[in-house]
Each structure stands twice: as structure tokens, then as C-alpha cells.
Structure 1
Amino acid sequence: MKEQLILDVLPVVPPRFDNFVTGRNGETVSRLLAVAAGQSIYLWGEHGSGKTHLLRAATRQHGLYLNTATDILPDPGEPVAPGSIIAVDDVHNLSEAQAAALFGLFNQWKTSQHTPEAFTLLASGPCAPRQLEIREDLRTRLAWDLVYRLETLTDDERRSALLQRASDKGIPLSAEVTNWMFNYYARDMSALSSLLDALDRYSLAEKRSITVPLLKSYLQSRHS
């Protein structure tokens, strides 16, 4: 109950284009911002490079975000709403049924590409399409249109991203805490963001400010 009450008061910061630290990915972000019906974009890059953030941002207002770990893909026999955006994250984890559904979606996308029924199809994975260990006909389809590699952020860009996330959530994050997180915890943005969210909950539960001692206390509590 206590944990739920804490979750109820924590601010939810949805992934948006304006809170994504672009780094060297300016062209990719610009292309996603201007994506139109009839286009398909495949994003690839290392874990924590921002693929999920960008797919969620692209589908935030009038789209459908799907993660292969948890979601059932739309039935390709059902028509997709014209002008909508469908994003499929982590295609390297497709089940057999999901692979068949995505194959059908790509065929529907191609058929409607230059018609009033056109829609946008986005996808992501950890490597270029030709290197994915999935069925060959899907590797080919993922490369039908635009393919972009997401470059990982530099350390300075990661710090900027972490501080931006903290600011968005109203979390005061000192330079001392930030330095400790980077030097002794991780430099992967996904891990850092998860730690920040967990610290936010822990500090509220403990009624203490986020400091290095609190951070160490939280990490110790996870292993006790």
C-alpha cells in the first residue's frame, strides 16, 4: 500500500522528442518528427541508445507502440487506420506468431503505401536488418524503406540526459550524486534512468533527500 501511494504521487514523464538528448542523432530525430504516412523507419543501436524512447515519442499522440516482450501485434487481416503510426520495438525477440503478424503488416503497408489508406510502420532492433536472426523475408522488409543507426551518447551527453530527466520529474540531483552514479554504478542511460526513478521512490519512502549516503543505502537494500 505504501509503495502504491508513492507511485500515485510521482510525476509521470512520458518519452517525448523534446526530452530526448539528440547527440549525434539529429538527422534521425528530424526524420521521425517529419515522418509521413507511407513511410517505414527501422532504428537500430546498442541497448540504452534511445530506440524505445523515440518509438514511444513517435506514437505518443496518434499511434500504437508495441513491445515484442509483452504485446500482441495487430491481426494483419484487419485494416490499419489511415495515417496512423504503428511501432514495433525489439524485433529480434519476435515470437513465431508475432513474426507472422509483422510480415502481414509490412505487406499491408507496402500495398497501401501510395494510397489514401497509407500508414507509418516503425520498428527497432539491436543491429542492422541483415544481421538479425529472424526470418529472411522479415529482414528484407525491415530494410524496404529508411534505416537509421542510433549513436550512443558521450558521457557529457549522458549527464545532460540524466539531469534533464531529473528536472522533468522535479528531482534535485546534485553533482556529487551524479558523479557517483557515473563513476560507480553505470553509464548506460537505461540503467541510469531506472536508478533515478527507483531513488525517487526510495527517497519519498524514507522521507530523505537524494544524497550519496541515501543512494548507497538504496543499493544495499536491494541486495539485503
Structure 2
Amino acid sequence: MTQQLILDLLPPSPPTLDNFEAGQNQAAVQALRDCRPGRAIYLWGPPGVGRTHLLQSAASGPETLYFHHGDQAQSLKAIATADTLQHRLIAIDNVESLDADQQAALFALYNRWREVASTGRGFALVLAGDRAPLAMPLREDVRTRLGWDLVFRLEQLSDEARAQALSKRASDRGLQLSPEVVNWVLTHYTRDMRHLSALIDALDRYSLEKHRAITLPLLKDLLASGQPANQTDN
């Protein structure tokens, strides 16, 4: 069984706020936990800090919507101009990639958000991008709206925090990772925690299949058996 097939059988767990390794981002996570209709939160940071994880977590409940740049602008505009809103929270990912029509829809949505924020028809906005609001490659009136309420810069996990998260993930599966294995993973593998967690799951499965203890040679055998899915979670 190739490593890719193993990862297909053991996909990363669905994103939640509870399984997000917050590190220095505790304030942003708490703001999402406390987010209520009438609030807006903008998260920004480089690839791998967990932007998509957090937005999908925020939009995982009832009456929520997750929108990314690949979706049709018309759907966002329809929400912004609807007589009655069906969503209590709208999450919009990869704001930096919105085209002109999507930016126009976001502008209308922000205006709608502000208009009803203090009423019983209010809704929450949670957005994410790869840079600070005023540095976004967007029209000026959209850039300024990104900073209307709460703004958080997301920080990468330190190697120490990432190592602790890996060890905890392994411990939860009844595994013991040697410092040698942990250090090698942190040095040679993606920094994305969801894919690191998936690697631990795959390593557990692979060790059972091969009837071998988890060692650095076993890890290298696993990775050599197929190219890992090193897609970055924003």
C-alpha cells in the first residue's frame, strides 16, 4: 500500500477550534469562540498558519456559510441583497484572490453587515487573507472594510509547540515517537499541522502493516513509498 493510499484512508480530521493548535494565536481562537452576530473578524498570515482551518471551523455549524474565491460571486451578492438573511455567520476565505465581481459582492455584504449589526437581523463575518488589510490587492473601499472590526495576525507555531503537538497526537494513538523521528519530521516535512497529524496517522497504520516499530528508517520507508500530500492549509 503506497503512502498516498494510506493518507487517502486516513484523511485529516475535520477542522474544529478544539483540534487547532493555537500556539500564539489564542486570542484569535477565543474571538472565534465568542463571535456573535454583529461582529466581524479578519485573520491574516502566511500559508500554513491555519487560516482555512479556522474559517471552516467557524462555519461548521447551522446557519453558516463558507465561501472561497472559487465560488460564484452571484451567490455572495444574492446574500448581501436578500430581503431576509438565512445565515448567522458567513466566512470568506482567501480574500486576496477575489475577482472584481466578488469584491463588489463583498463590498455590498459589508454594507449589509454594518446596516443590521445592532439589530435582530445581524450576522457575523469571518474573513481571512494572506496579508494585512491595507496591503491587500483589492479595491480601496474593500480594503478599509476589512479593518472595520477585529483583526488578528496569525503566527506560525514554534518548533517546540509543533513538536509537542506531534507527540500528543502520537500519544493519543498509543504511540511513542522518539526525539529523532520528531526532529526529522520538523526539519524535512511540511509545517502544516493538519498534514503533520495525517502523517502520524499514516505512520501508525504503516507500522502495523509492516509489523515494525516506529523508527526513522520506517518513516523514511513510508515517505519513499509515494509522494506525500504536502498541500498547505492556509
Give the alignment's TM-score, normalised by structure 2: 0.77
Identity value in percent:
41
How far, CA to CA, are the matches of 1:88 and 1:166 in structure 2?
33
How far, CA to CA, are the matches of 1:197 and 1:140 in structure 2?
38
Does the 8 Å contact 1:66/1:87 carry over to 2? yes
How far, CA to CA, are the matches of 1:167 and 1:89 in structure 2?
33
Residue 126 of structure 1 pairs with residue 130 of structure 2: yes
C-alpha change, 1:153 and 1:196, in structure 2 (3 Å) is closer
Gaps of 5+ in 2: 228-234
RMSD: 3.1
Does the 8 Å contact 2:44/2:132 carry over to 1? yes
How far, CA to CA, are the matches of 2:177 and 2:45 in structure 1?
30
1:26: Cα distance to partner? 2.1
Does the 8 Å contact 1:51/1:124 carry over to 2? yes
Q: How many correspondences in the alignment? A: 217
How far, CA to CA, are the matches of 1:86 and 1:166 in structure 2?
34
2:10 maps to: 10
How far, CA to CA, are the matches of 1:212 and 1:3 in structure 2?
15
Residue 138 of structure 1 pairs with residue 142 of structure 2: yes
How far, CA to CA, are the matches of 2:39 and 2:197 in structure 1?
35
Gaps of 5+ in 1: none
C-alpha change, 1:164 and 1:17, in structure 2 (3 Å) is farther
Q: Deviations over 1:17-44 (max 9, x none)?
A: 2222222222222211111101111011
1:120: Cα distance to partner? 0.5
C-alpha change, 1:6 and 1:185, in structure 2 (3 Å) is closer
2:50 maps to: 50
1:205: Cα distance to partner? 6.9
2:198 maps to: 197
Does the 8 Å contact 1:166/1:173 carry over to 2? yes
2:93 maps to: 89
How far, CA to CA, are the matches of 1:126 and 1:185 in structure 2?
22
Bigger CA drift: 111-120 or 152-161? 152-161
Moved segments of 4+, more than 6 Å: 2-5
Give the alignment's TM-score, normalised by structure 1: 0.80
Q: Deviations over 1:153-211 (max 9, x none)?
A: 2111112233444566x47361232221013334x2x2x53254256457647823654
Residue 27 of structure 1 pairs with residue 27 of structure 2: yes
C-alpha change, 1:60 and 1:161, in structure 2 (3 Å) is farther
